[in-house]
Structure 1
């Protein structure tokens, strides 16, 4: 049957069995494997019902009818009747030309399951391969009882401690908040169509060139308003010059002096009045400083900042989104695996160039998100980050506790150890 599904995704011959003990990629595969070995089918289906499932599909067919998830039956020589493959996130085959995977769940499969299909092939071609007889009625019951997965997800067989893991961990606040593994390369995200729809909705990205342009801009710190970074750099300069944290008025006055001096230099060099309202810029900067100080006070109350700490830079907001964007782009097939890897390494290098540890990076990212979305309402744009921050600073599997900030001898071109 020519359904466009590659051999690696279609049946039991696609993946080689390991020479030694098998290491499950995530907790989901571990529980499926244990349940299958012991015949604990209640746990098997409870696990399956509570996680994302991915069905293989021909890319040209999905492109012709975006958002529609179609089944792609196949025949296995050892099974009687047609089968449908589904994969859990940790065992999705690597991307191949012409094939994609669409995200779904057991409850949806139960609702649309055709009577012609005899078997559900769970992770075919892998050590946790399981062919289960079609029983949509039972699947619906399991789906109704399914509980939520853990929010912090780690791919145990992925990068855990190296430079690539560092670049991945730069996107952890966003990815963990969305319930996605922090250290996946990208094709295990929301599925092909959903990744494309998300990029279109949030970023107006519909193709490769737009994706790569956006990724370059984020890695260069061009997406956060320059006045945010300007204000923080003025304060950082005061700290370095005087060895202490300036009060609010000292900070505001210093920022005003810099703006006045820059404008005077511009007028001298051009011989023309500035093409902007200097007084409005000064007032906006003074107001911005107040907003930053109020957010920092809340950050200290919620444990995002230590008592005497301040936000060093806002650029983590761009670098963290670049880390996620590199994965989203691969999931949407707007970039290649090597491009994703290079972008992740660049995101980690950029973060290490400015920040001294995960705590500083996190505070910069959260402040950027709040200045962009929250408008001092301290609503979900903030509370979600505060909750994920607590998770990432306390869970023993968190990359912020397992991935070292510095990688001696491994700095990228142009990178140096942070001051």
Structure 2
């Protein structure tokens, strides 16, 4: 194969858990309905078995599309589906840790073709994550290029499921695979769900839906608690590059800080807290100049208090006078921040993110939404367990419900946090993509936000 150590194993076999599900035949097909070998044809695949009854529910649209193409004998269409989705293969975790950037083909014998196969799975049929094995994902084109003459003569797709198929791996056949690979694999800005094995109702589903803006933006299954993402190695790389997380301890610390809303900027929260207090005091909308003036006054008053002596258990402790230039800079910064928030909110109202007369009370949603994502990312990277992930997702649901009154209110707060963090008032992709995700989640009939009550 192109990378790794080939498909031979030093122990002469595949360790437990690394092969495909044990095959017991298609439970919906009568005995003897499967042909013994591939018929003539360019794809070298067995003919489709008798269709399962209507009660069979595909885990996701990918498996449904594969099954439909297989049932009508449309192998070109079958490969089109494979070509626009990531294909996963089991890996020894120790091997990936020791050989970054490499993939090892782990073969198995298949009685269906009477030969050795490499199994690849589509996302909807991946098993729940365990410590070992882990999975790597790649495009169909990558597999076509990585194969070499010592690798298995057969490719098994989703064995043991109604969407299964087996394909020869000769150079001629692999050349055809490449013609079906899409230019972009599984693009973002799509609502995708797991219909079998994914949470659709209840507290876990609510907690996962708190991270749906991220899932839709990335084109990921929003409700897959047993999350693999792009595979073990890539999910570890993502956490390292975006969050500087490289250990289970760092992941747990970051997750706890997100669930406690300790990563959202305290300056943002200060500015919004001042406006919230004014709105409560005066019972209505707060004028921008009034908000700025009071916020600056509070900044200066806090500096004065810091300079005053304090009585502590050790006695009288002298205060720490603040430099006037520093205090003035802080006050000016808060005034600028208030202007940014006001301009974003005006744009939100114009785009339907925020109702007229409404304002954003707190940006804790920015942390809670990311906490829902972080729980799953850590599982995919094997920094945490499935039980830890579920507990964190349930907690994300609880704190979000305690601080917000609707999906729309939560969404506006999350998006404002995202924009203040990344967008720098450009109203570019960071904003436009978030707006597109919000619109999908508030209008698509299959959206969790339209099917799971906020409280």
Does the alignment reach a TM-score above 0.5? yes
Shift of 1:386: 1.5
- Provide the residue aligned with 2:113 in structure 1: 79
Give the conservation status (yes or no) of the 8 Å contact 1:73–1:84.
Answer: yes
The superposition leaves residues 228-268 of structure 1 with CA deviations (integer Å, 9 ceiling, x where unpaired) of 01111211222222221101011112223333443344333
The more displaced of 218-227 and 390-399 is 390-399
141-150 or 392-401, which moves further after superposition? 141-150
Cα deviation for residue 348 of structure 1 reads 1.1
> Residues 184-263 of structure 1 correspond to what in structure 2 (within 5 A)?
184-263=224-303
Listed one character per residue, the Cα deviations across residues 241-298 of structure 1 (whole Å, up to 9, x for unaligned) are 2221101011112223333443344333243234563222222111110010011111
Give yes or no for contact 1:187–1:327 (8 Å, CA) kept in 2.
yes
Q: 1:140 aligns to what? A: 178
Q: What per-residue deviation string (whole Å, max 9, x for no partner) do you get for residues 335-387 of structure 1?
A: 00000001101111111111101111111111111111111111221121112
Cα shift at 1:47: 0.9
- Say if 2:452 is the partner of 1:403: yes
Q: 1:273 aligns with which of 315, 320, 326?
A: 320
Name the counterpart of 1:294: 343
C-alpha distance in structure 2 between counterparts of 1:164 and 1:61, whole Å:
33
- Gap regions ≥5 residues in structure 2: 1-8, 29-51, 311-316
Contact 1:192 1:333 in 2 (8 A): yes
Gaps of 5+ in 1: 407-419
1:417 alignment partner in structure 2:
none
**Cα separation, 2, equivalents of 1:83 and 1:137:** 18
Asked whether the 8 Å contact 2:199–2:225 carries over to 1, the reply is no
* Distance in 2 of aligned mates of 1:209 and 1:289: 36
1:392 equivalenced with 2:432 (yes/no): no
TM-superposed CA distance for 1:175, in Å, is 1.8
Q: Residues 263, 401 of structure 1: CA spacing in aligned structure 2 closer, same or farther, 3 A cutoff?
A: same
Partner residue, 2:195: 156
What SS does the corresponding residue of 1:94 show, helix, strand or coil? coil
Match of 2:394 among 318, 340, 345: 345
Asked whether the 8 Å contact 1:9–1:125 carries over to 2, the reply is: no
Give the corresponding residue for 2:31: none
| Distance in 1, Cα, partners of 2:183 & 2:210 | 34
1:370 equivalent to 2:423? Answer no
Q: Which segment drifts farther, 313-322 or 30-39?
A: 30-39
Q: Which moved more, 1:102-111 or 1:34-43?
A: 34-43
TM-score, with normalisation over the residues of structure 1?
A: 0.91
Deviation at 1:75, TM superposition (A): 1.1
Q: In the alignment, is the contact (CA less than 8 A) between 2:139 and 2:185 conserved in 1? A: no
Q: Where in structure 2 are the equivalents of 1:177-188 lying within 5 Å?
A: 177-188=217-228
**Separation in 1, partners of 2:59, 2:86:** 15
Corresponding residue of 2:32: none
Match of 1:60 among 87, 90, 94: 94
Which residue of the other structure, out of 314, 317, 331, is the alignment partner of 1:282?
331
- The aligned residue for residue 410 of structure 1 is none
Which structure dedicates a bigger proportion of its chain to helix? 1
In the superposition, relative to structure 1, how do residues 14 and 288 fare at CA in structure 2: closer, same or farther (>3 Å)? farther
In structure 1, what is the equivalent of residue 128 of structure 2?
94
Structure 1 position 130, deviation (Å): 2.1
Contact 2:211–2:222 (Cα < 8 Å) also in 1: yes
Matches of 1:151 and 1:84, distance apart in 2: 30
**1:311 counterpart SS class:** coil
Is 208-217 or 175-184 further displaced after alignment?
A: 175-184
The residue that corresponds to 2:160 in the other structure is 125
Partner of 2:16: 6
Larger radius of gyration: 2
Q: CA deviation at 1:144?
A: 4.9
Moved more, 238-247 or 99-108: 238-247
* Aligned partners of 1:29 and 1:90 also within 8 Å: yes
Local SS of the residue matching 1:152: coil
SS at match of 2:181: helix
Measured on the aligned residues, the alpha-carbon RMSD in Å equals: 2.3
Deviation at 1:400, TM superposition (A): 1.4
Equivalenced residue count is 406
